[in-house]
A = this chain, B = another copy of it.
Amino acid sequence: MNGAHALMKTLADAGIEVCFSNPGTSEMHFVAALDAEPRMRAVLALFEGVATGAADGYARMAGKPAAVLLHLGCGLGNGLANLHNARKGKVPIVNIVGDHATTHVQYDAQLQSDIETVARNVSPGFVRTSQTTAALCQDAVDAVQAARGLPGQVATLILPADVSWGEGGQPCPPPPQPASPTADDATVQAIAALVKNGKKTALLLGGHALREPALLAAARIAAHSGVQLLAEVFPTRMERGAGLPAVERIAYLAEMAGVQLAPIEQLILVDAKAPVSFFAYPGKKSYLVPDGCSIHTLATPAQDAAASLRQLADALGASQTPPRLQAPRRPERPRGRLTAPKVCKAVGALLPDNAIVIDEAITSGLMLGVMTQGAPRHDLITLTGGAIGQGLPNAVGAAIACPDRPVIALVGDGTAMYTIQALWTMAREGLNVTAIIFNNASYSVLGVELDRVGAGEGGPKAQSQLDLHGPQLNFAQLAQGMGVHATRAQTSNDFCQALEYALAQPGPHLIEALVPESLAGAKRRVLPWLLKSLPNLPQPVAQALKRKIAP
């Protein structure tokens, strides 16, 4: 049995069922081995960032890793941004990068490059170049084990062509199921004491702490002890909607996060890290925890968040306390000319049961959280690593992991263009994805950021770097060119009809929401939205905030 065949069997035995691929010559034996393993589904992407982003979305929803197949250092480069997002989201991926035959490396052929250096950027915990066919399957098992432990990670296995084609492959048994250690008793007791000490306390939930079992335990604690629940700014996967505890996310804008965090005296981390600002700004602090607020950890990302929260609930006597759950509530259908907030409103009004919502809409999606808060329960996937181009590929993977659930991806126009090739894979695989593209013909967020970093308004050349007019993109045509049904919507009614149609008809659909506006308009729009997205903000605080970040 050659290495590739043994590897394929080993991966399947270890529970890897899908390989998202963009192969080249050095991966041809791996590709040929696909037909020998009926348990392995191969999903072709036309660009590596689609393959890696799909593996990310798959693992977030399937709760286990997929494999990715990339072609040498350049393929890895193309896939790097979405592997970065997976790394930051602690998402397990078995990242297989084909390489030249070991005997060929010395000749520095055209595609030769140092793969390991690139891989370390996204796989600091596991990069291994398999050296022999005999060792390959154990290497693969080690990669699977590294990927799917807690915290999840991107494990990179570099696969030289001759290791793949060599005879003597020995399939290996799967690795042991990963352990799920929980918080130790002393920690639980110490945190319980903190919760009871009368200080203003918040649990900051991240990672697996935003899934239903953990949320319910956290909500019991909140109801029992009066602690506040906060969610990290960009969750890997958050279960939310009617019937689940509602948790306020920390805001993207450091100024707002500062307002949210200001009253807190004790912050207890549950599979989360102490909040820091996304970017640095001149004269502003990056570390967002207020002076005098103490930080404590109930569960690290290497520990079972839900079990640890249940332990804490037990210690507090909160195990039977009914949690406060979000009541069902939907906005009305929007009317009139379409705007970005109205798109969010329409999604809130029409969201089907059990949807998977992927939010990569940057400024245009700011109202999404509020508008879908009481919608039927759903999973929310967000941009964990800030590397835009995650949304459409994530949708591919989520739809493959959960074929019976509707997937709705809300994506900005600038963002969509990084991995637009994902649409083709959606069409080929017949995935139930509705991609909503906000076409405002700008990198809106940069218009805001230009101000925030103190670089001024920018002259015409600077402005042209943020502006996607001239020519304006036509996403409906792009989708049709890749075989995806698409419509453009300019009115709220058009949009609602298109969304209802897309949700009713199987297969992928793209709805291009035409929400044109100037950069200045975007800036004017952002502030009030932000204020509305924190509906419980006391009026004086809102005023202070307004003065602080008004353009």
Q: Which residues of A contact B (CB under 8 A)?
A: 21, 23-26, 28-29, 31-32, 34-36, 42, 44, 46-47, 49, 73-75, 77-81, 84, 87-88, 100-101, 103-104, 107-111, 113-115, 117-118, 120-122, 124, 161-162, 165, 234, 273, 276-280, 282, 286-287, 383-387, 389, 414, 417-418, 420-421, 424, 427-428, 445-446, 449-450, 452-456, 458-462, 464-466, 468, 470-478, 480-483
A46 touches B414 (CB 8 A): yes
| Chain B residues near A473 (CB-CB < 8 A) | 424, 481-483
Closest to A448 in B: B25
| Residue from B44, B80, B273, B483 within 8 A of A80 (CB atoms) | B80
Nearest Cβ distance between residue A250 and chain B, in whole angstroms? 12
| Chain B residues near A470 (CB-CB < 8 A) | 428
B118 touches A464 (CB 8 A): no
Known contacts being A78-B49, A465-B34, is A113 close to B101, with CB within 8 Å?
Answer: no
Bound Cα distance A456, B165 (Å): 12
| Chain B residues near A113 (CB-CB < 8 A) | 84, 87, 121-122
Nearest Cβ distance between residue A468 and chain B, in whole angstroms? 8
Nearest Cβ distance between residue A124 and chain B, in whole angstroms? 8
B459 touches A34 (CB 8 A): yes
| Residue from B446, B475, B483 within 8 A of A28 (CB atoms) | B446
| Residue from B77, B278, B280 within 8 A of A110 (CB atoms) | B278
A35 touches B459 (CB 8 A): yes
| Chain B residues near A103 (CB-CB < 8 A) | 280, 286
Known contacts being A25-B453, A477-B478, is A462 close to B80, with CB within 8 Å?
Answer: no
Bound Cα distance A478, B475 (Å): 9
Which 6 A-B pairs give the minimum distances between C-beta atoms? A471-B483, A77-B80, A35-B459, A477-B481, A101-B280, A74-B387
Known contacts being A165-B453, A477-B478, is A44 close to B464, with CB within 8 Å?
Answer: yes
